[in-house]
A and B are shown apart, each in its own frame.
Chain A
């Protein structure tokens, strides 16, 4: 089946620093790459996504970059804040196979 590998599994940063989470995928036909944020006790929420016809997309402090040749896409969070602490998941292909998740902790 299709594989989605996500790294790192845990990430701890100081408030104000940047955080980067990376996912690699195996299905060349993938053309939709979303990132979800899950807070404790809640369902995942889409925070940003990108389609294969662009290489980068930004939304305030959050950005996603896509490298189709290398088959990976990354989530970038700049100027991290304590409220960014959560578990982040990438998904693909067809948005049904999720990465194992990254637990991000932002220390004040």
Chain B
């Protein structure tokens, strides 16, 4: 059973470009969570999705950021018009049920130049 997969592992974007981060949850998991981690800092919750629904997006900036988890395919975190402050590691996690242990992917390291 493959773990949570994220791609790309590293992404470089110039200021103003768009970044699309993908997350494939573990087989049988329908709950997906996105977190952002700045260097030497903790994990900041961004958004929690269940298939086709956003359950909690209280941690996601109101502008430029969006997330989806379609019926088919991976969850996507999209950042439009990236700025230098968006440079961070973005982790995705999945769980089988709400409130159960989360399994994390290896992360996508976004660098905005």
A12-20, A39-47, A57-65, A69-77 - the one binding chain B: A39-47
Interface size class of A (residues with CB under 8 A): 20 to 34
Tell me the number of A-to-B contacts counted with CB atoms below 8 Å.
Answer: 51
Taking CB atoms, residues of chain A closer than 8 Å to B58 are 1
The secondary-structure label for the interface of chain A is: loop
**Most chain-A CB neighbours within 10 Å: which of B35, B58, B99, B103?**
B99
Complex Cα gap A81–B74 (Å): 38
Docked-complex contact B42 and A96, CB < 8 angstroms: no
Interface size on B, residues (CB 8 A): 24
Q: Mark A69-100, 1 if CB is under 8 A from B, else 0.
A: 00000000000000000000101001111111
Could you show 10 A-B contacts with beta carbons less than 8 Å apart?
Answer: A32-B99, A34-B102, A42-B106, A42-B107, A43-B105, A46-B101, A94-B98, A96-B45, A96-B56, A98-B43
